[in-house]
């Protein structure tokens, strides 16, 4: 049986790619510019060709040549353009240059004309002033001759022990006559503490002794800011027992959001965080604690993408065939 095909833009370390692989897809090309992300990706997907460079400099013709396809034959074009400009954790500037990277995705979409596209981004893009940006994105994607529909999906309902909401936009080429749709929730929320019970405790980021002493006062599900007299340190949290973990962000490190073990005086280890993000234990990461966290925090949880890919395969691609 011929496997459906996918090209991944803004591929990162391969979270989405792993999800497509688990769903039975064949990845023809990954596009990524970050050195560490590319090195990590290649370690875990040695057989997938990688375009290591600026997506703005990759033409549609060159992309198709690298992937060995012709216009209109690709099944899925996937992409998670950098989202810092939309994120509620940042200043959310409409004019942030990082917000324009979705135009590079739209350009390749127009030039490749795949049957389906999947675009993932943060929920900040549909809130408040940024909703105009979302409407612009949807309009731009539809102008590429696609029916497009966005929906907020929380990874904790798709076998990921982490509460992580993302906007998932799915589009189907107009000539195929199929309405885009999203998978319904698959599972009930999973308690993160059960998932990490026997995980490898490797790199924990080496927190300072004084911080370890203060974190002893913090109960699971709470943060240091609630007991700090100055009202600081809200970014030092213990994840709750019996519930999914809070969102693993790019900056789960000192100075960012630091997620601590529910009962021990330390940060979550990389081995534990991989499980919370639904990466397998043998998934290889490169670099220091902060760098590894950045890779995981920027990734789409593999199990979430697996659910999306399986839905597309069954409800769109197999219907077309």
List, by residue number, the catalytic residues.
83
Beta bridge partners of 152: 167
Rg (CA), the chain: 20
Tokens of 264: 């021990």
Cβ neighbourhood burial of 2 (10 Å; 0-12, 13-18, 19+)? exposed
For residue 246, the SS3 value is coil
* Beta strand extents in the chain (DSSP E only): 5-9, 26-32, 50-52, 76-79, 116-122, 146-154, 165-173, 236-238, 258-260
Q: Check residue 229 and report its DSSP letter.
A: T
Structure token pair of residue 134: 């979302």
- 197 Cβ contact partners less than 8 Å away, ≥ 6 residues apart: none
- The helix (run of H) or strand (run of E) holding residue 65 is helix 60-67
Cβ-defined contacts of 36-39 (< 8 Å, 24+) = 36/286, 36/287, 36/291, 36/295, 37/11, 37/12, 37/13, 37/295, 37/298, 39/286
Q: How far apart are CA 308 and CA 321, in angstroms?
A: 19
Q: Is the distance from CB of 171 to CB of 255 less than 8 angstroms?
A: no
Distance CA 321, CA 313 (A): 10
Which residue, 25, 65, 122, 9, is CA-closest to 316?
Answer: 25
């Amino acid at each position: 049986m011929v496997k459906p095909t996918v090209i991944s833009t803004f591929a990162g370390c391969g979270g989405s790619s792993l999800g497509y692989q688990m769903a039975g897809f064949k990845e023809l090309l990954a596009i990524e510019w970050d050195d560490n992300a590319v090195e990590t990706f290649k370690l875990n997907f040695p057989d997938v060709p990688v375009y290591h460079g600026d997506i703005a400099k990759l033409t549609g013709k060159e992309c198709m040549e690298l992937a060995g396809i012709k216009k209109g034959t690709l099944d899925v074009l996937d992409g998670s353009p950098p989202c810092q400009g939309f994120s509620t954790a940042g200043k959310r500037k409409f004019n942030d240059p990082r917000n324009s990277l979705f135009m590079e995705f739209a350009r390749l979409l127009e030039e490749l004309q795949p049957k389906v596209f999947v675009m993932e981004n943060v929920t900040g893009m549909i809130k408040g002033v940024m909703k105009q940006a979302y409407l612009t994105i949807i309009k731009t994607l539809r102008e590429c001759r696609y029916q497009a529909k966005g929906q907020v999906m929380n990874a904790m309902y798709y076998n990921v022990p982490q509460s992580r909401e993302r906007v998932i936009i799915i589009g189907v080429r107009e000539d195929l006559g199929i309405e885009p749709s999203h998978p319904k929730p698959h599972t009930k929320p999973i308690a993160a503490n059960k998932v990490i019970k026997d995980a490898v405790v490797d790199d924990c980021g080496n927190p300072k002794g004084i911080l370890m002493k203060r974190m002893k006062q913090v109960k699971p599900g709470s943060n240091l800011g609630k007991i700090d007299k100055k009202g600081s340190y809200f970014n030092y949290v213990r994840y709750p027992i019996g519930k999914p973990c809070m969102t693993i962000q790019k900056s789960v490190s000192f100075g960012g959001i630091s997620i601590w073990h529910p009962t021990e005086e330390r940060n979550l280890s990389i081995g534990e965080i991989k499980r919370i993000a639904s990466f397998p234990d043998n998934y290889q990461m490169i670099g220091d604690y902060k760098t590894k966290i950045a890779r995981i925090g920027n990734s789409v949880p593999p199990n979430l993408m697996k659910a999306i890919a399986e839905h597309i395969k069954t409800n769109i691609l197999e219907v077309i065939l």
